[in-house]
Structure 1
Amino acid sequence: MDNYEYMNISAISDALICEICRNPFINPVILPYPCERTYCLKCIQSNLEKHSNNCMQCNKKSLSNTELKNESPILRKMLDNLLVRCRSCAQINIQRSNFSKHIQQMCPKRIVSCSANDIQCSWKGHFDQLNQHFNVCPYEKLRTPLTKLINDVQRLDQLDQLQTNFQNLKIKFQQQQNQIEQIENENKILNEQINEMKKFEIEHKNLNEKNNEQINEINQLKNKKQTIQDQCDQYKTTINDLIIELKTLSISLQQANILIEKFEKENKLLQEDSNQLNLSQINYQTLDELYQQQQIQIDSFNKENQYLQEELLYYKQELEQLNQHFKQIQTENQQFHQRYVLYNRENNTLNEQNQQLNQQLIIYKKNLQQLNQDFKQMQIDNQQLKEQSVRYKIEIDELTIKNKRLEAKLYKPIIQSHKIADKSNYQNTGLEELINRCQTSSIVNLNGQKINDDDIDIVINTTLFNKQCQSLILWNNCLTSYSISKLFSSLSINTTLKKLSISKNHLSDIAIKSLSESLLFKNSTLKELVLSSNEITDEGLIYLSDMLKINETLIVLGLQDNKITNKAIQYLCQVIQFNNKTIEEISLYSNKLITDISIDYILNMITNNQSLKTFWIWDCQLSEQGKCKLQQSIQSKIDFDLRL
């Protein structure tokens, strides 16, 4: 039920009251024909899950959630128009349909946060206490210094960011320093190239001078050649004259005989001149060849000179660009120089730290060598442990086989007792027929069948071993501590039963102890256990609580309408809070001895246990203040079902 109570509940018609929870319907549904009774949706679902899937009225028809139908809109409208009183603020005459709006927006007792939660105020309380808290709130009074402090923290964060940026700038500066060094190296290379170019220019000038000298020599050779040519021409003319004279001499041989000696002398002279002429021609040819070679060299020198001049012009332009870039780098270098001074100081400190780290590194290396030696020793020990674990595994396997043999001997008396019961003359044909009509691996409902100690063997053999049922209901029977102990002993070897309901059987705490011990086995498959209306005391609940410390299968525990007090409830809450992570639902309603003394223990259990989703504790001796405290504890829980 929510945090409200109905106005004039005695005046509400019985047609609007649920027979299970005895409160007006919430989400009413109708059972199918022929019963056609109306119940709350949660009540009928809980009843079907915990007790049986059979109809509550006729106990014959099997029901499912799909067969439940919604009640008529008229009835729902009547339920929504019921007037309720808010338990938190005591406001009356609130329509039930508007209560959620009231509790969220209008109730002065609703839980709100302080307006100073933006500066870390953790206060949460009722809305009508907000102004009172606001007047004394230390955070609100200190809002200005706290805001300044928060801003200072943000500035510190910004300072950290600036430090990271400074580190990034330092890295960039180092990169630019490297680039400057690289550019300086390139400048050195370029300067060397320029010096080589200057040397080349000097060589080029020397070559030009040599070339000019060679041209002058060639011109002189040309002049000599021309003079020789002129001499040759003269010699030719003289030869022609001589030929004419020879003709005249041949005509006048006789006259020539006189002058033969003279002519012979002249002929010798001419012969010598002719030889000189031949030599001059040969010299002329060699000079001509030299001239052509010189001309070719001059052309190549001219081309090379032109190419070098073009390259020189290109290098001059590139040199101007490099000079401009160098000036820019010099300006940047001046800017970086100041930073470099600071960085140099840091570098000195880093060098000192580096020396310390080097010393530590030497120590670490020694430690590492020692660790390596220890590691080798550990490997040897590990190998020995592996060999020892193999031996232990063999021993464990042998012990497991012995354990299984001991379990067989332990369970043998139970199996023999089953056989003795089968061979006895006692029969209950009605009970056997009722069980045989049930399907295998399904629900067996033996509600009100007056089962006694003689019938319990039939129930164990047929339901647990033959039918292998998953749900067994034994309400309103005549079970004694003997039959209960026998039934619970069989649970330790059963692997199919998931739901067990033994309500209204007047169980003793000794029987509960036997049940708790049987559920300590790891092979237990029981998930839901209902023990309502059995006069269980604190002793029995303590046995069950100790079982919940170890059992990881049970998720539903029903203990409603018993004789449990605050002492055992407090112990159960501590076990659920600290030692159990699987329980999902606990029912403790109609335990009249539970009071507000247990409120704090229940609240801690609900708050700190993550698996618990349903807790029913209505019809106990809890005050309205205690109920309100529990109701507030589940506001942070999602889909938690708390019924008070």
Structure 2
Amino acid sequence: MAITSPSTTTNFEYMDKTSIDKDLNCEFCNNPLVGPVSTPCKHTFCSVCIENKIKKTGGACAKSKCNNKSMVLEDLTPVTERIVLNMLDRLLVKCISCGMTNIQRGLFEKHATKSCLKAAVFCMATDIKCPWTGPSEQLKQHIFTCSYEQLRPVLCEIMQDNRHLKEKIQHMSEQCLKNHQLHLKELQETNQRLNINVEQLNKILYQQKNQLKALRNEVKQLKELIMQDTSQISDRQIETQRDKNEIILVNERCTKHETQINHLTDKINVKGDIFTYHNPQLEINISKCHSRTTVDLSKQQLLDRDLKTVVKQALTEKECTRLDIGYNSITSVGASIVADALKQNTTLEELNFHNNCVSDLGVHSLAKILSSNTSIVKSLELGSNGITDKGAEHLAEMLKTNRSITWLALAGDRGVRLLANTVTHQNSNLLILSLHVNKSISDASVDAIIDILQHNRSLKKLWMQDCNISEDGKMKLREAAKSKQNFSLYM
């Protein structure tokens, strides 16, 4: 155990140092022992002397020629023999401060703190921060004039408040520390949860990366397939264009042939027929119909020469309001015969030419008559008649001036676009437009039809079933139809 020196002052000197027994002297400083301790090697020193020596030399004994070089402070043993300690305490000393002699060394500390008039003392108001220090003999005079002592009540109260504040601050500091530790614990728990979430998210991210990689591979494969399909589509488009060109050539030839047929027919009409043509079954079928009603002659294998009978008996005599001659073999010649009859007719409201061979030339004959507004035809069905864009142009021109047609059925992309322009901007009578069962109508017509839906106010019904329009095109048409009131779209 470490031995420290006693708290005595050394402000004294020995009265007769020569008379002091040498055995009471320190073997290092050669002065009477102070706080004597003994070493394992049986030497006695002042506690301060040997401790300093050990610290400086690293454990060597303070006695010269001693071989003990490995002491530590814990090896020192305090001298406890009472006779030795009493002899040291009875040594007579003189106070250097006040000059008083014959003071026993053991009582010198008491003298220095209580009796010595020259001893340095503190003011009694030190507890309230008075900084004064001086000789003991001046203490009374200082206390009499000490401003701190005079202000003791106030200062004590301030110091007490200060202590309370310190205690409060200490309490608040402890509370803050406690709250901080609690908050830190919560943050650590939150951080732990977040780390777990991050790990889970990393796993999910890893899975999604793998999925994305797989999707990219699929997209790559799809792109390759699309490129192949695009190439095939391009080839088919070229083939389609060739077919269209061939169709145009065929139509031109048909038109020439029909023109020639018309010339021949005119000649026959002028010269008169060699024999009179009759179709008894046709006449019977017409006779069964009531006047001013529907005359249905569809699917009767009618030819152009039968149309004179139809005009005479159905239009003129029966004054029918609806004439259905669909699904026969009527060409532009027959259409021209009916068109001529419409010049004077005031009863026919619905005319159905569906699925014949009217062609562009026949459409031209009908459109020319209907443009003059001399008839009251409201419904005109011309689907599946080999009508090209040229025929659609004739109908579009007709609709610019016609005020009676409310139902029109037609086919073809360009024809639809031509009609759309007229119906959108120059016709306000059309109520029903039928474009169904026309594979030639594709997505190319979608924008034109949407234009009709957005700008035409008269149209109420539109048939688009079984056309060559994609699902995307159908969706666009349905969206456009939603904004049109009292309108029905059939797809």
**TM exceeds 0.5?**
no
Higher Rg:
2
Q: TM (normalized to structure 1)?
A: 0.33
Structure number having the greater helix percentage: 1
The two structures have a TM-score, normalised by structure 2, of 0.43
